[in-house]
Amino acid sequence: MPELVDWLMTHLVVGVLVLTRLGMLLMAMPAIGAGVPRRVKALLALMMTALLLPTIADRPGMQDLPDLSHLPDLAIAVAREAMIGMLIGGTVQIVITGLQLAGEAITSTGGMNLGDSVDPTTQSSMPALARMVGMLVTAVMLLGGGHRVVLSLLVESFEYVPPGNVVFHDSIMQSVIDCMSGALASGVRVSAPVVAALLLSNLVTGLISRTMPQINVLAIGFGINSLALLVVTAMTIGSVAWVFQDELAINVERLSMIWTPGG
């Protein structure tokens, strides 16, 4: 027992750094960051840190860490670890948010903005269709093993970017910019068929109003738009899963290339 206490005190700084990176990953990761009680997240972070710490603490270079007596250096190291954890977990959330923009674009084009509700992840008002897309993508991620891919990326980051040796460079910011632009493009790709169908229905409604002015165009137009929105959305909603899988794989590979040698 005294040997275990001495080992824990010796590797206390490493444990704090590993816990910080892992904890920020869990906070930024979808399906865990929101909706899961804080005690469960804290217990999960502690358990995973206990599993990773023995393999990380014995690696070379773990002796050149900030000492507990130098609090400013330790605080800077903790902040860097937190940013790395947020980078990995936030990448997945950025992809999901970009796909949720498809739901917002479809809802705005179809004139169905009355069904807004508060999203627990972003704490902002969001259409019901956008929330449905977010929940669908999160379910696809969990069923397809996306959480295991993210955790393996975290373990890989500990191998090439040891705790306490985090260095930021331009490729990290470029990776975030590429992730945001790719997520926005994915949202446009998902919403394009429905938006095109809605624009076509508006064109049909305009032709009807020109040929038969005595018909109530507003009532007919709203019904045609709603029907086109529901039918085309039901036909194309499955593409969200494929787009998300491709975009997640691209971003995971991009992050892996940041800290691998030669990346």
Partners of 118 in beta bridges: 125
The per-residue pLDDT for 70 is 67
Residue 97 amino acid letter: T
Give the relative orientation of helices 38-57 and 146-160 as an angle to the nearest 10 degrees. Answer: 40
Predicted pLDDT of residue 253:
84
Q: Where are the domains of the chain?
A: 2-259
- Which pLDDT score is estimated for 200? 85
Beta-carbon contacts of 14 under 8 Å, excluding residues fewer than 6 positions away, are 53, 56, 57, 62, 65, 163, 164
- Three-state SS at 89: helix
pLDDT of residue 1: 52
Two tokens, residue 35: 């909706």
Give all strands (DSSP E) within the chain, no chain letters.
116-119, 124-127
Q: Quick one: pLDDT at residue 63?
A: 58
Low-confidence ranges of the chain (pLDDT < 70): 1-10, 33-35, 57, 59-70, 111-124, 214-215, 217-219, 221, 260-263
Length of the chain: 263
